[in-house]
Structure 1
Amino acid sequence: MNLYLIWKYKYWIAIAVLSFICFGQLAYTNHLGGELIKAEANHKTELANSQALTEKAKAETAVKEKQWSEQLLKAEQNYNVKIKQVMADATRAQSAANSLSKQLDTAKSRLSTAPRETIIKYVNTSSDILQECVAEYRTMAEAADGHAIDIGRLSEGWPK
């Protein structure tokens, strides 16, 4: 009897089964659409966050670059001031050396009238040696000052 009823209503049963499958597919498709909408919303949120972080990083980079640029400019200005100071010191040292040389030349000319030839030779030799020492000292002091200033400029200009 059950088979007879199934056979008799086979079209309605097929329609019911197919309708159930169709509604199931429709529900599943609707579920997947909702998941897609959620995924798109998450994607937009992540994209906005990523862009915000990128903009923040760009701003921080610009600030750091400006700080380093200002630091480098300040180091260059300090370097130029120190170079001028070294040049002034070198000029003063040269002036002092020239003054000392003139004094020694005067002393040399006064001692040359003295009867002792040994004293004259001694003074002449001492004057020559002193002139050479002063010149070498000035050259060495300029080089040392230049190196110290270069180190200071590099230290000040280096990013921290």
Structure 2
Amino acid sequence: MNSLALRILAQLVGAGFAFGVGWYVNGWRLGQQIAKIERDQVEAAATASETARLKERAWNKQLEDARNEATKREATIRADAAAAHNAADGLRGDIADLRRQLPELAADACRQRADTLADVLSQCTARYSGMAETADRLVNDRQTLIDAWPK
């Protein structure tokens, strides 16, 4: 082999070595970039997951608070309905007492009117109490939906 061939061979080996080293260094650099991208992605996923958990907890708390408030309103509605029923019963008792006193105070026509009044009042009380309770329940359901809606 002559010296020219050895030089060419040496230069090819040197170029190959340089190419290999460059390839290795570039792979190492790109490997670091890929690792950083993967770390950033894992970090972003963890942050997004934590944010979603916090939002879900907040929404669940809001929903629980809305349900608790609805339960309180329902108890108030029941108490109001019971009070209206008790008041109506008291009024029926007062009318019954009046009706018992009527024979001594007035004629048969007064008794008939008192009976009619008692029946009409009883019917009105029953209908209005039922309507008021239904209206209160609708208001309660509406408020529950408003309170539970995510904000």
User: What is the TM-score of this pair, normalised by structure 2?
Assistant: 0.89
Q: CA deviation digits over 1:73-127, x for unaligned, max 9?
A: 211111111111111101100000001111122222333452252x333222221
Q: How do 1:98-117 and structure 2 match up within 5 A?
A: 98-113=89-104, 114-117=106-109
- What corresponds to 1:3 in structure 2? none
Does residue 78 in structure 1 map to residue 69 in structure 2? yes
Q: Runs of 5+ in structure 1 lacking a partner? A: 1-9
How far the C-alpha of 1:12 sits from its partner, in A, is: 2.4
Paired residues, what number?
Answer: 150
Letter in 2 for 1:107: L
- What corresponds to 2:114 in structure 1? 123
Does residue 11 in structure 1 map to residue 2 in structure 2? yes
Give the Cα separation in 1 of the matches to 2:111 and 2:128.
25
Q: How do 1:46-61 and structure 2 match up within 5 A?
A: 46-61=37-52
Q: CA RMSD in A?
A: 1.7
- What corresponds to 2:83 in structure 1? 92
How far the C-alpha of 1:43 sits from its partner, in A, is: 0.8
Give the Cα separation in 1 of the matches to 2:150 and 2:96.
53
User: What is the TM-score of this pair, normalised by structure 1?
Assistant: 0.85
Letter in 2 for 1:129: V
Q: Which residue of the other structure, out of 65, 70, 91, is the alignment partner of 2:56? A: 65
Give the Cα separation in 2 of the matches to 1:22 and 1:33.
16
Give the Cα separation in 2 of the matches to 1:127 and 1:95.
16
Give the Cα separation in 1 of the matches to 2:134 and 2:6.
103
Q: CA deviation digits over 1:12-50, x for unaligned, max 9?
A: 222222222221122122111111111110011111111
Does residue 30 in structure 1 map to residue 7 in structure 2? no
3-state DSSP of counterpart to 2:150 = coil
Letter in 2 for 1:99: G
3-state DSSP of counterpart to 2:107 = coil
Give the Cα separation in 2 of the matches to 1:77 and 1:11.
97
Q: Runs of 5+ in structure 2 lacking a partner? A: none
